[in-house]
Amino acid sequence: MRSARLVRAAAFAGLVLLPAWLPAQTAPAPLILRLPGSVRSAGLAGASVAVVGFAGSIFVNPTGIATIGSLSAEGAYERHPDRSTFGAAALAVRLGQFDFGAGYGRLRLRDTAAVPSNDLWVASAVYRFGLTAVGASLKYLTVEDSAGAVSQAVTGDVGLTVAVFDIMALAVSVQNLGRDAVSGPLLTLPTTTHLGFTLNLIDPQSTVRLLGTLEGVWTEGERGRTVWGLETGVVVGGVGLVGRLGNGAQPSGTGFSRWAYGAGVELGRLHVDWAYQDQSVFGAGLHRFGARWTP
């Protein structure tokens, strides 16, 4: 009898303690975190951590907004071949030695997808001293699966950029540092480090433009990858055309082709952008359109 009571007590203790020993239930990494938040970035195959000076840069590097003049606004939209959609918007302002930015992205997949809805909010703060800028972003994610279950999580990014006027920039960002589940299963948010260098090979104030950028990306649990991009064009009196080209291994799960292409119309402070990738998880022939305004 005594041994039977000991067995029952041990079984009861196991039922109580077992959940604490088991790993927490997790949900897959949101696909929206692997998509470029800016059309300019998409046209460079995602090589954009050191391409600074526009609002949409906060999706990859908090300090990407450090070189804006006073204000920058941006919007992007794409309708995929499988009829899913992605849209993003960002705004950044400069106040003395500080820059503040906010962004929102929404990925809406087909209703038959396992996770049809991804939403991302970003808020950034940057401090500039000399040629250097340091900053951080707070990100809030909401993911809804096909059964209607919602997972919400908070994470953060940090960044550092050294920009030598508008000639060159060296930047590093670390994304998804820490995570906290707000509701639902804990989202998988792999830490990703970007290190990049951008150089204007021709004075960007001249008629002919030529910019090159090289970037290394290391994502937790994946092999490192390298991406490069070129941007060139002719601008006269603030009006002109630019073309973009990028190549490199793309984020897992996106199905993106290595090559990406883009173009832009320069209309003074208004920049109208287009980007294209031949293959993606959403289907073949992916077009993205957007606009940037930098008064």
Give me Rg for the CA atoms of the chain.
Answer: 22
Asked whether residue 17 is domain-assigned, the answer is: no
Q: Domain range holding 134?
A: 29-293
Asked whether residue 14 is domain-assigned, the answer is: no
Q: Residue 111's Cα: distance from chain center in Å?
A: 24
Asked whether residue 159 is domain-assigned, the answer is: yes
pTM of the model: 0.89
Residues 231 and 43: their CA atoms lie apart, in Å, by 9
Q: Single out the residue of 295, 234, 229 nearest to residue 51, CA to CA.
A: 229
Q: The domain spanning residue 245 has which CATH number?
A: 2.40.160.60
Asked whether residue 5 is domain-assigned, the answer is: no
Asked whether residue 128 is domain-assigned, the answer is: yes
**CB atoms near residue 71 (< 10 Å):** 14
For residue 115, what pLDDT band results from cuts at 50, 70 and 90?
A: confident
Asked whether residue 181 is domain-assigned, the answer is: yes
Query: What total of structural domains would you count in the chain?
Result: 1
Residue 42 DSSP SS3:
helix
**pLDDT tens readout for residues 42-60:** 999 999 999 999 999 999 9
Residues 137 and 52: their CA atoms lie apart, in Å, by 16
For residue 185, what pLDDT band results from cuts at 50, 70 and 90?
A: confident
Asked whether residue 174 is domain-assigned, the answer is: yes
Asked whether residue 4 is domain-assigned, the answer is: no
User: Element (H or E) spanning 163, and its range?
Assistant: strand 150-164
**pLDDT tens readout for residues 248-267:** 999 999 999 999 999 999 99
